[in-house]
Amino acid sequence: MAASRTRRSTSYRGGDISDSEKMESSAGWDDALDWLKLEHQSVSRSVSLPRHGNYKCLLEGERVLAEGHGVVLVNTDEAGTVVVTNFRLMFLSEGTQNTVALGTIPLATIEKLSKLVAKNQTAPRQSEKSTSRRLLQVIGKDLRIVVFGFRPRTKQRRLIYDALQRSSKPLRIWDLFAFSSGSSKFSNANPKVRLLNEYFRLLGKGSYGATMNMIEKESYMKSNELWRISNVNSSYSMCQTYPFALVLPKSISDDEVIQASTFRARGRLPVISWCHPVSGAVLARSSQPLVGLMMNLRSNADEKLVAALCTQPGGARGRRKLYIADARPRKNALANGAMGGGSESSSNYFQSEVVFLGIDNIHAMRESLSRLRDYLDTHGTTSSDGMSSFLRHGGWTWGGGNLSSMSASVSAFGDSGWLTHVQSVLTGAAWIAGHVALESASVLVHCSDGWDRTTQLVALANLLLDPYYRTFSGFQVLIEKDWLAFGHPFADRIGIPTVSGNSKMSFELTRQASVGSFPPSPSRQSVGSSPAPSASHAQNNCSPIFLQWVDCVSQLLRIYPFAFEFSSAFLVDLLDCMMSCRFGNFFCNSERERQQIGIAEACGCMWAYLADVRSSQGRSHGHYNLFYDQLKHDGPLLPPAAALAPTLWPQFHLRWACPSEAQAGDELEDRCREMSLRFNELHKAKEIAEKKAAEMTSAFESLSVELRHEKQLSSSSMALAKRASKESAAIRRAIQSLGCNVHFASGGGTDIETSRPLEDRLTSGESNSQNEGSDLSVSISMVADENVSSASNPISRICQTLCPQSTREGGCKWPDAGCAQLGSQFVGLKANYDAFDRLSIYDSYFQTD
């Protein structure tokens, strides 16, 4: 075990090295994607082989193929266990059994395997016999180089190497892990539906909603004033690498379209990728024209189709300027003429200008990335030889008196040429977007085949022109439209098997193929070249074209941090999903091939998975850009040339070689994210406090209104009480003026008596009214008039003398008469006026019906 831990002093022996072939995919296992943590709670499937351990971190459909114990990860000098599954190579830490991100890589990401032998350095006095370490080098297309050290005479290295050789290079597409895991819960709508919806949006027909029924019935041929959606390629008979629906000029018939397709390589005729909603300028794409060796062949149909791209809206006179942007260097375009290809002549296309953007081919990009990977591994902190970059060449690489080493490292980085290629793509896309946005010119972009450099430029120009593509949903639509639907050969570029080019071969029949990889589609053979063997074809045509485009997007995100809804972490996870082949979105070379084998139904969807990951934390997830401001950049992005100087993308380029430096930006972003979350919490608390304060203010105002109302009622009651007291005093004086005696009892009662004898009042019968239990009591005694003699009652005599209604017989007509004989009606009255003062006065006392 001590020997296995020896580090920083190993020297490789080149004699025992067997290089493997290129692997089928290019991508890295990114710890930020965190598949292990996200799906740790899901039910892990048991390992089918009883001799292997049952690891809880396995995904659904993942099974163990081989494992080795006591293995050392030379990059970090960490001991652990190597496990090979049908999806990935895992390295588990010896103590915690946690997965180590650097040593865990999907099988489809592996580019190359090498068996190495290194001799351990011995002390001078030790025996000359030295034990050798069995090493396994794994090179990934995600810029990592990992070396595992095995103990000698254990045969573990052979076991792991053979398992990786078998599982990392499947002969059939159905052997990829995505078919084993199935679609599960990460399913999504058919990409054809989203493509049609994007076409509707571009034509201003966003109110229409595409459905599979519409696609089956081919009822999607909508149009506006200038452009139309055509079904001329619905069966992929005109162009096997184009989508089923195309946006074409309205003035061009389908027959003319078919005729024009014969003049372009692989039938990839000029079609519209994006159109300006106001000016009508378009961004179109195609492949190179077949002008021949002498560059003198022409096509009237092609020239008419290209001229229709410059149509003015509203019947305006004249034509707009047309730029034909050839992505290749001029010499490469001329060289293609020997194989029947070439470039357009501006004299054959009215009011046009041909521009060469000088972007190199796929082989130059592959070699450039390989040199960048070697530079990062050599000068990184986790080098595959186990030696720190500060100690290499006898001194510190960056200084330490070793200026030659420093100069060599700088030269090695510059010689990789990766950033130069990235800048070429950025500059070309900015040039295209500028002419469409500022000059209202139409631009036709092509390279040789129209699916590599053309796709990079068109997709990047779309991103610059339309802010919709800078959102999550728009970015998905952009990739599905310009990369997938228009036939970027993902299977060839990442090195995975695909289906046969024979369109008549059924799905079940194709699955029976078991010998060798699938040959490339006949439609993808180079012009003038013969079909190459499958293995050689897959190996020679691998290239990081999509990775380079995402790198360009990350540069724009750095330049315009407020313009994109997604973050750099989202771009890294997107690349890892693509290169891991866990999902089927990027399988095959065209829409036709994916439809042929039913990728959408058989495999999971990467977009659904990423959306599910984001939904776990909402807008606080790391995929969201904290600084996104939709209103700040609601138009085109037109960066000047000086701003397009690219730099290394730390989150992707440095994450394996220099993890601390790569995480510095993430840590800063995480700190900002924490501050943003804290700010949002404080903002919510502030809103709650303001709401409570508003409620308390409203309640206080309501109580104030009620108090003022009560004061008004109290004042009104006091006024009424004073008025009643005055009326009572007036009544008392009136009663006294009639000759009645008013006596106030000690309990507050009042007796009103006439001068009539008490026994006379009692003999007439009394009617008493008393409210017991109350402080107010009234007693009234009444005596009939006929029982009262006029002689004994002076009031009666006065009444009979003065009343004009009296009869001769001396009788009284009251109540028929208009007088009131108080003396004969009220013989006694008791009232307790103090009780009035003690009564509570309410509003209802003074309300009237």
Residue ranges for the binding site for substrate? 361-362, 447-453
Strands annotated E in 38-95 = 64-73, 78-85, 88-93
Asked if 609 and 389 touch (Cβ cutoff 8 Å), the reply is: no
Residue among 57, 239, 275, 447 flagged as catalytic: 447
Tell me which DSSP letter residue 533 carries: P
Backbone angles phi, psi at 156, to 5 degrees: -70, -35
Q: Are strands 271-275 and 282-285 parallel, antiparallel or unpaired?
A: antiparallel
The one-letter amino acid at 438: L
Is 447 an annotated catalytic residue? yes
Omega into 815 within 30° of 0, i.e. cis? yes
Q: How far apart are CA 586 and CA 709, in angstroms?
A: 76
Nearest-angstrom CA–CA distance, 464 and 636: 6
Q: Which residues pair with 744 in a beta bridge?
A: 750
- One-letter amino acid for residue 436 of the chain: V
Give the chain's count of helices (H) and strands (E): 29, 20
Cross-strand bridge partners of residue 326: 356, 446
Report the binding-site residues.
Answer: 361-362, 447-453
Of the candidates 289, 411, 402, the one whose C-alpha atom is nearest the C-alpha of residue 346 is 289
Residues comprising the chain, all counted: 849
Please name the amino acid found at residue 522. Answer: P
Residue 310's CB is within 10 A of a number of other CB atoms, namely 22
Pairwise CA distance, residues 180 & 223, whole Å:
42
From the list 590, 353, 552, 563, the residue with the least C-alpha distance to 468 is 563
In angstroms, rounded to a whole number, what is the distance separating the alpha carbons of residues 461 and 357? 14
Report residue 289: phi and psi, to 5°.
-80, 150
Report yes or no: 517 and 171 within 8 Å, Cβ to Cβ: yes
Beta strand pairing status for 442-446 and 322-326? parallel
Joined together, the tokens standing for residue 399 give 């200084």
Q: Residues 647, 657: contact at Cβ < 8 Å?
A: no
750-753 and 828-829 as β-strands: parallel, antiparallel, unpaired?
antiparallel
Residues known to be catalytic: 447
